[in-house]
């Protein structure tokens, strides 16, 4: 049997399910009938695409109605189904089912649907634009990645170390110590004279070397300290050369003075040449490093742009999918309202009979009988 029910002005045929008005045996029989109906519903064809979300809502409605019917039976202490209880529960289930009814989606008929359809069409156009934007952004990202790979500056300049500066300091000490011993630290104690001469030679050589090579590890330009070190090295060499010429007594002495002075100047100019080459290398690496940093910055910008384009495309796709789900939900609520109403009635009746069975089981348990 089917009875005609009206849902918001639309007439639908809703199947009637026979109520149980007999005793406990009839109630148990009714439970078996509803169990069979539930199994039959479980063997129905699987839901179509897009109906899973709506069926989840229906399942929650069935669960709530089942709990409502069971709670009604337990709180009333009913041991058998009564017409008044079933009628009230069925009216409640029908009211819930009527709330689930919606008109079919029709932009030509409903103004609200027309607005939604306009937004949907705009989203489709925006998706085409967003997909092209993602493709262009990804192509630009690949170009930036190639640029960043090609612009790698390589390893930074290795430290000079102390071997070469140390050798230069010792060489300057060897050339300056004898001159300081003969013309500056002239004293009766030869040991003290040579000790002071060696220490002074080491100090002069270390000072000149550090000032000439200083900052060549960190900058590509000659600093004021470098200029002072170069000037000091040249002036010290010339001054010591003048002292040697002053004490020269023969041609051999003059030649020796000139050779020692040239050696000291050669050490100073050699240190300056090393400093120039290292400053040039550091300047080249700094330029490559700056170009690499700029390429990496452009790469980061391209990555951010790709992420933004993908997020925009994802948001548009989500809006389109949400509209599709909404249209399909409207279709389910319009075309399958009879099934929704029938399952609502089944759920509330099953819950009511389950509550009755629980009441009877509690009583039988108190009486000590084994079921």
Question: Is residue 63 situated within a structural domain?
Answer: yes
Least confident of 13-22, 137-146, 242-251, 318-327: 13-22
Question: Is residue 20 situated within a structural domain?
Answer: yes
Neighbours of 299 (CB within 10 A): 19
Residue 152: φ, ψ to 5°: -60, 125
pTM of structure: 0.53
Question: Is residue 22 situated within a structural domain?
Answer: yes
Cα-based angle 361, 367, 371 (whole degrees, multiple of 5): 45
Question: Is residue 349 situated within a structural domain?
Answer: yes
Question: Is residue 321 situated within a structural domain?
Answer: no
Cα-based angle 368, 370, 371 (whole degrees, multiple of 5): 130
Mean pLDDT value across residues 332-354: 83
Mean pLDDT value across residues 236-263: 85
At 32-79, the pLDDT tens digits run 433 333 344 334 444 444 444 555 667 787 888 899 888 988 888 888
Rounded CA gap, 201 and 178, in Å? 9
The CA distances from residue 269 to 27, 231, 235, 264, 276, in Å, are 114, 10, 12, 9, 10
At 302-317, the pLDDT tens digits run 999 999 999 999 999 9
* Segment of 156-165, 180-189, 306-315, 342-351 carrying the highest mean pLDDT: 306-315
Question: Is residue 60 situated within a structural domain?
Answer: yes
Question: Is residue 17 situated within a structural domain?
Answer: yes
Question: Is residue 62 situated within a structural domain?
Answer: yes
45, two tokens: 């064809």
Mean pLDDT value across residues 150-160: 78
For 148-161, b where at least 16 C-beta lie within 10 A, e where not — what string? Answer: beebebeeebeeee
> What does the H/E/C string look like for 124-145?
HHHHHHHHHHHHHHHHHHHHHH
> What is the structure's pLDDT at 173?
85
189, two tokens: 């104690």
Q: Which residues pair with 11 in a beta bridge?
A: 6
Rounded CA gap, 209 and 253, in Å? 28
360, two tokens: 């009877």
- Torsion over CA of 222, 223, 227 and 229, rounded to 10 degrees? -110
Domain that residue 54 falls in: 2-110+333-367
Percent residues over pLDDT 90 in the chain: 19
Domain count, the chain: 1
> What is the structure's pLDDT at 125?
94
Give the confidence band of 296 by pLDDT, cuts at 50, 70, 90: very high
């Amino acid at each position: 049997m089917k009875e005609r029910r009206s849902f918001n002005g639309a007439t639908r045929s809703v199947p009637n399910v026979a109520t149980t008005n007999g005793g406990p045996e009839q109630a148990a029989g009714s439970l078996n009938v509803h169990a069979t109906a539930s199994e039959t519903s479980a063997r129905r064809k699987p839901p179509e695409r897009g109906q899973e979300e709506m069926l989840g809502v229906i399942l929650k409605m069935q669960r709530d109605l089942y709990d409502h019917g069971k709670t009604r039976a337990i709180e009333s202490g009913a041991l058998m189904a009564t017409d008044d209880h079933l009628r009230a529960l069925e009216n409640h289930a029908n009211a819930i089912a009527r709330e689930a009814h919606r008109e079919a989606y029709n932009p030509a008929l409903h103004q609200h649907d027309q607005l939604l359809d306009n937004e949907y069409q705009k989203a489709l156009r925006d998706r085409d634009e967003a997909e092209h934007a993602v493709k262009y952004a990804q192509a630009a990202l690949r170009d930036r990645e190639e640029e960043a790979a090609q612009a790698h500056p390589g390893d930074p300049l290795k430290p000079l170390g102390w071997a070469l500066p140390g050798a230069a300091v010792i060489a300057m000490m060897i050339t300056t110590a004898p001159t300081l011993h003969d013309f500056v630290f002239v004293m009766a104690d030869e040991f003290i004279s040579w000790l002071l001469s060696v220490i002074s030679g080491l100090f002069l050589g270390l000072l000149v070397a550090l000032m000439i090579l200083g900052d060549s590890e960190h900058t590509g330009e000659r600093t004021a300290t470098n200029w002072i070190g170069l000037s000091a090295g040249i002036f010290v060499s010339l001054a010591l050369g003048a002292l040697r010429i002053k004490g020269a007594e023969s041609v051999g002495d003059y030649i020796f003075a000139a050779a020692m002075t040239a050696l000291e100047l050669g050490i100073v100019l050699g240190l300056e040449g090393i400093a120039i080459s290292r400053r040039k290398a550091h300047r080249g690496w700094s330029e490559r490093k700056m170009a690499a940093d700029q390429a990496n910055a452009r790469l980061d910008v391209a990555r951010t742009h790709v992420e933004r384009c993908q997020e925009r495309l994802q948001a548009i796709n989500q809006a389109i999918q949400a509209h599709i789900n909404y249209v399909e939900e409207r279709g389910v609520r319009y075309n399958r309202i009879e099934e929704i109403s029938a399952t609502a009635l089944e759920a509330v009746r099953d819950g009511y009979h389950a509550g009755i069975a629980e009441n009877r089981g509690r009583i039988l348990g108190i009486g000590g009988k084994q079921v």
